């Protein structure tokens, strides 16, 4: 059995207004193949923690999904 390897990134949504819109974006990210989870930071609602399998998707694909929802996003903390 293959062991799953995951990595974590943070996606920043500078233009998510109201900030609660980040939950919509997190739901879309969570639906991507290879994404294990996506959670909005409770204090900084414009920050989404994403855990994913880099063999199945990439940070670029995640940001593309954010843009398809209509938001500008960037990966932070690299």
Q: What pLDDT, on the 0 to 100 scale, is given for residue 1?
A: 54
> Average pLDDT of 40-60?
93
Does residue 27 form part of some domain? yes
* pLDDT recorded at residue 18: 76
Average pLDDT over residues 18-34: 91
pLDDT of 6 higher than 80:
yes
Residue 11, strand partner residues: 48, 75
Can you tell me the mean pLDDT for 31-52?
94
The confidence score (pLDDT) of residue 45 equals 86
Distance CA 35, CA 8 (A): 10
In a domain, 5, yes or no: no
Residue 57 pLDDT greater than 60, yes or no: yes
Count structural domains, the chain: 1
Structural domain boundaries, residue 51: 10-72
């Amino acid at each position: 059995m293959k062991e799953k390897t995951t990595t974590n990134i943070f996606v920043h949504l500078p233009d998510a207004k109201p900030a609660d819109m980040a939950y919509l974006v997190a739901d879309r990210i969570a639906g991507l193949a290879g994404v294990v989870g996506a959670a909005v930071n409770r204090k900084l609602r414009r920050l989404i923690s994403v855990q994913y399998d880099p063999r199945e998707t990439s940070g670029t694909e995640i940001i593309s999904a954010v843009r398809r929802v209509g938001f500008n996003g960037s990966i932070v903390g690299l």
